[in-house]
Copies of this chain bind each other. A is one copy, B any other.
Amino acid sequence: MATTREELTAKIQRIKREKKLTWKKIAAAIGKGSPIYYTAALHGQMKLSDGEAKKAGKVLGLTENEILLLQEIPYRGSLPPGPPTDPLIYRFYELVQVYGTTWKSLIQEEFGDGIMSAIDFDMQMERQPDPKGDRVKLTMTGKFLSYRQY
């Protein structure tokens, strides 16, 4: 039985393989929320509500304790320390390296002093067909939070 979130993530990956499930199918079974949010929860990065966790437990065959664990707020951070070694994930890290200062200059020029929230945040992923090769399209919105001057 998994008692930590890491163990639970590993168990879910094993079951998914055995049952030949996909993340999308599992997400659809959990509820009407975004598949990105639900997949993040199954990777130990978000929490599920009581109802969602029970549905996840049903499709995956989890124990009662594991269903409770899915409702706990996790200690977030899905990657080992240092720049990510996996090429797909590294490319996002590279975007931060290359565009970081540009994002800062343009967002703050438009909105003033503050940040784009990574908490009041949502995102979508789509396939954008393209004759030269389909493209991954990511759309993110985050609430702009102004620095409080006190």
Contact = CB atoms under 8 A, between A and B. Distances in A.
- Among A76, A79, A95, A107, find the residue whose CB has the most chain B CB atoms closer than 10 A: A76
B78 A100 contact: yes
B146 A141 contact: no
Contacts of A96: 79, 84, 89, 92-93, 96
Interface in A77-118: 77-111, 113-118
A98 B76 contact: yes
Interface string A121-134: 11101011010111
Copies per complex?
10
Given A43-B102, A81-B81, A141-B128, A91 B116 contact: yes
A65 B20 CA distance: 11
A60 interface: no
A107 B125 contact: yes
Interface residues of A, number: 97
Contacts of A111: 127, 134, 136
A5 to B, nearest CB: 10
A46 interface: yes
B120 A143 contact: no
B116 A102 contact: no
Closest 7 CB pairs of A and B: A77-B85, A122-B150, A116-B136, A91-B118, A89-B100, A78-B101, A135-B141
